[in-house]
Copies of this chain bind each other. A is one copy, B any other.
Amino acid sequence: MLVVMKPHASEAEIEAVAEKIRSLGLTPHPIPGAQRVAIGITGNKGGLDPGLFETLPGVAEAIRVSQPFKLVSREVKEEDTVLDVGGVPLGGKAIAVMAGPCSVESQEQILETAHAVKAAGARFLRGGAFKPRTSPYEFQGLAEEGLQLLALAREQTGLKIVTEVMDVETLPLVADYADVLQLGARNMQNFSLLKQLGSIRKPVLLKRGPSATIKEWLMAAEYILSRGNYQVALCERGIRTFETMTRNTLDLNAVPVLKALTHLPVIVDPSHGIGLRAHVAAMARAGIAAGADGIIVEVHPRPDKALSDGHQSLTPREFDDLVKQVRVIAGAIGREV
């Protein structure tokens, strides 16, 4: 259920509606819009009677939300959500460019990469300190040391830090350093972690699980919003199909579908999506042309020596060229990098 307030409803009227919702044992989610405030309701089993709310002062109407996902839905909030990452927008007209190595490996590596991607136009630095790896015998990341190196890179460049959180135990630690918390594809339905991410006040980049449907993905985001954290962006990073020439199948169909269903920003990850260095730029261009709000790209100063994902990482020079191409596409459709 969504209670839409009149354009000039007062604070008191809004609070009265929220109080009414709470009195029913349910949770109100006030959602400010350009024209009016709407209040999403969660916690009900089955439908609610619109009449409960439509007679309250300041209420324009109370409408049923037809989708199983509520707070992430465009039905509940028409305007695009723009995350505020310490002053840098994520979403909106400007294409968000995120870049950096798969894993933080050393001070030299992360600083060299950070300066290079900033020069090319990135405003976010990605890099993993805690790494989910298929094998227990592979490099698992530098842990807190990696986070400290990311903080140092931020200090030197002003880039915002995007880094993965793998579990509830390390969440406070990671949240201390990160500007955006990345939830990895394999954890997309780690519901305990999703709930915890809903309780903090940091932007979250929620990657799509390799076999998650669009609906399941939106429901995972709903977990976060339903706990009160409305700062979520979605990241398409490739789904698992039968094709073996590419690492995954970057599903760009999800981009326009999501933009129609949800107000949350949508980012594409061409590096994991196609998994082949030579073709990352083509998929980044295509992602922006499809309507994505940003890209996240793996860049490493010496891909052949990377401890992980070297085969899909770009050199700084290749990344610089990619940003130029993306800028052209963005300009062609009325956006900017």
Contacts and interface: CB of A to CB of B under 8 A. Distances in A.
Given A167-B193, A285-B289, A332-B332, A136 B223 contact: yes
Nearest to A241: B241
Nearest to A289: B289
Contacts of A210: 211
Interface in A222-236: 222-223, 226-227
A134 interface: yes
Interface residues of A, number: 74
Nearest to A326: B289
B211 A192 contact: no
Given A251-B249, A252-B250, A252-B283, A213 B242 contact: yes
A135 B119 CA distance: 42
A189 interface: yes
A166 to B, nearest CB: 5
B132 A191 contact: yes
A260 interface: yes
Interface stretch (A146-154, A271-279, A294-302): A271-279
Contact of A166 (B135, B192, B257): B192
Q: What 5 A-B pairs have minimum CB-CB distances, sorted nearest first?
A: A211-B211, A289-B289, A167-B192, A256-B282, A286-B290
Given A132-B191, A241-B249, A249-B249, 11 more contacts: A43-B137, A136-B222, A214-B243, A243-B251, A244-B244, A246-B253, A250-B252, A255-B282, A283-B290, A286-B289, A328-B332
